[in-house]
Structure 1
Amino acid sequence: METFLFPVLRTISSFIILLIVTLIIGKHINSHKTHYSFALSITIGSIIANMAFDSAIPFIQILVSFLTIVLMFYLFLFLSAKSRKIRKWFSGRPTVLIEDGKILEHNMKKLKFSLDDLDQHLRELGEFDFNELDYVLLEVSGQLSIQKKDRFQPVTKQDLHLPSKNISIPRELIMDGRIVEKNVNETYTKAWITQQCRSRNLEIKDVFYAVINSSGTLFIDQYKDNLQSPSDVE
């Protein structure tokens, strides 16, 4: 019995430990925006795997290693906040691939970044015309940041001298047939939400999702979509 129970307990313990740490530093682990966050995620994943499955190594030793990595993470955060040089070393710096509309071949050669790579990345961003590009940078995350030439920039309301509206963050009012209590306020009260549903011949339990969008309009999606032949493709 112990042959099966011990690995099960190690696996459960490892998962709980990883979950707790992820809740604390998950944004750094998940983002992979810097060299350091990438190395951190790989190291944590390796340690957790050994913690769960490698019974030859005592659990407490792996746990100490795991806690050491977490402490190193906070130490590096502290040092990065104090020194810009250290922050650059840990985080890396973007590389300019196009400047003033000209491709910088020497930077691309340093990165072993081919024209085919550049073309693919630009196409994925919906950019097909090099004539429109002013600056292109390859970020540490591997993503491209693009600035178009001024004449190819999209027109804004300010350019057209149009009045601006106050845009707010969408407020979710109903999820899974229940009112989201924390988003109820003096404007969007429970009575108001109920009244909006009843005006559409719906009860709260009939609504899958209801949200006030950024323009202040109420969107409601009910469980029953009333479609003749809904798509069944993921």
Structure 2
Amino acid sequence: MHVVLEAVLRTCVAYFVLMVVALWIGKQVNSHTNYYNFALAITIGSFIANMGFDTNLHFMPMIASFIALVLIYFFLSLISANSRPFRKWLSGQPTVIIDNGKILDGNMKKVRYTLDDLNQQLREQGIFDIFEVEYALLEVSGKLSVLKKTQYQNVSKKDIYPTNLNENVILPKELIMDGKVVEKNFNHNFSKQWLEHELKLRNLQPEAIQYAVISSNGSLFLDLYDDHLKSPLDTE
């Protein structure tokens, strides 16, 4: 009976600890959007199971190890939030599978991604003809993100009431992230000099910009660190 009561008590404490951790970092872990989130979710499950049911293991060392694991995750998240190179190394990057309607078999081999996988994930998004796809990226989470060719995209109000039709669809290019210029994404159409000119017109410096990206229709999107919002929405 003593063993049963101990198992019940350990399970209750383990569940309470898990709920506290879930409230703290639950959104990041549940998303499984990168490698270390996925690894942490599996490890947390193993810790909680052992804390609750394996009475041969001492409970306090297990709790200490569990807290240490969560703190390691927290500090890694903190570092990755302030360092894009570290974030790319820790979280991974998406892989381009289709570029300008062409299947990149070299990239597919690198990530061991087959044509059967590609066709299945396209069908899951309601695409049965690969000819409709302009760009496709395999995300770190394993999901396939697809940009259709212009003629196969869903109709929007902008199509019904066109103001600035642009038939050229490109893959969005990030030019500034976290106040730092992404040098490798410049090309002859969108050069560093072009970006400097656009920022000069707006009286902005790269350090003041959180995110700058060339959208799929070729327009420049800018998001500043200081958005000057008097009453920003907060759903927390």
Specify the alignment match of 2:150 in structure 1. 150
Specify the alignment match of 1:86 in structure 2. 86
TM (norm. structure 2) is: 0.66
AA aligned to 1:77 is S
Does the Cα contact within 8 Å between 2:3 and 2:55 map onto a contact in 1? no
Specify the alignment match of 1:26 in structure 2. 26
Counterpart CA distance in 2 for 1:131 and 1:5 is 62
Give the aligned CA root-mean-square deviation in angstroms. Answer: 1.5
How far residue 63 of structure 1 moved from its aligned partner, in angstroms, is: 0.2
The gaps in structure 1 that reach 5 residues or longer are 163-234
Counterpart CA distance in 1 for 2:56 and 2:13 is 17
Correspondences of 1:46-57 after superposition (within 5 Å): 46-57=46-57
Counterpart CA distance in 2 for 1:154 and 1:8 is 54
Counterpart CA distance in 2 for 1:74 and 1:23 is 13
- Give every structure 1 segment of 4 or more consecutive aligned residues whose post-TM-superposition deviation is greater than 3 Å: none
Secondary structure of the corresponding residue to residue 71 of structure 1: helix
How far residue 11 of structure 1 moved from its aligned partner, in angstroms, is: 0.8
Counterpart CA distance in 2 for 1:91 and 1:68 is 20
Does residue 118 of the first structure (1) align with residue 118 of the second (2)?
Answer: yes
Secondary structure of the corresponding residue to residue 134 of structure 2: strand
Correspondences of 1:43-82 after superposition (within 5 Å): 43-82=43-82
Counterpart CA distance in 2 for 1:10 and 1:42 is 20
Correspondences of 1:160-175 after superposition (within 5 Å): 160-161=160-161
Correspondences of 1:174-193 after superposition (within 5 Å): none
Which range moved further: 54-63 or 147-156? 147-156
How far residue 151 of structure 1 moved from its aligned partner, in angstroms, is: 2.1
The gaps in structure 2 that reach 5 residues or longer are 163-236
How far residue 19 of structure 1 moved from its aligned partner, in angstroms, is: 1.2
How far residue 3 of structure 1 moved from its aligned partner, in angstroms, is: 2.0
Secondary structure of the corresponding residue to residue 43 of structure 2: helix
Q: How many residues align?
A: 163
Specify the alignment match of 1:210 in structure 2. none
AA aligned to 2:109 is K
AA aligned to 2:118 is L
AA aligned to 2:102 is K
Specify the alignment match of 2:212 in structure 1. none
Specify the alignment match of 2:38 in structure 1. 38
Counterpart CA distance in 1 for 2:129 and 2:4 is 60
AA aligned to 1:18 is L
